[in-house]
Amino acid sequence: MRFAEILREDTNTLFLVLSNLQGEADTEGMPLILHFDKKFTPVQGAINKNLDEIMANVGSVQFTYDTFNDAYEQDPRIKGLVKQFDSEKIELKTEKEMVDPASQADQQKDTVSDMASRAAQKGLDNELS
């Protein structure tokens, strides 16, 4: 098995783990912070978890900052779940932050289009009255 295949398999597992954790954070109504190191300083007002322990529990490789960064760069699904990360921690997006910006733009276009249609119809109705 090549390195790329191993990383892809572990990236799939990582995506599933992050998805489940994101759901847990939304249920609790708190941000979720994952740490690379067991000796982390917890972030106040957030759920704090050790990524290595979680990945070991699901039988996957443990991620360092560098391997996580590789997975983040290679898998858009992981990019979609992560709000920000650095060498010490990963912060997941909340469900509200998961809304696709493209779909928001489409909804706004529809709203503007709907308003223009209503205004045109109102102008036509005024002319006919």
Please give the helix or strand (H or E) that residue 23 lies within, else none: helix 3-28
CA distance 109 to 129: 30
Structural domain boundaries, residue 118: 99-129
Q: Are 60 and 115 within one domain?
A: no
Residues 29-62 have pLDDT tens digits of: 899 999 988 888 899 999 999 998 999 888 888 8
Q: Is 78 helix (H, G, I), strand (E, B) or coil?
A: helix
Same domain, 56 and 118: no
- Same domain as 36, residue 78: yes
What does pTM read for this prediction?
0.68
What type of residue is 11?
T
- Note the pLDDT tens digit of each residue in 75-122: 999 999 999 999 999 999 987 777 655 554 555 555 666 666 666 565
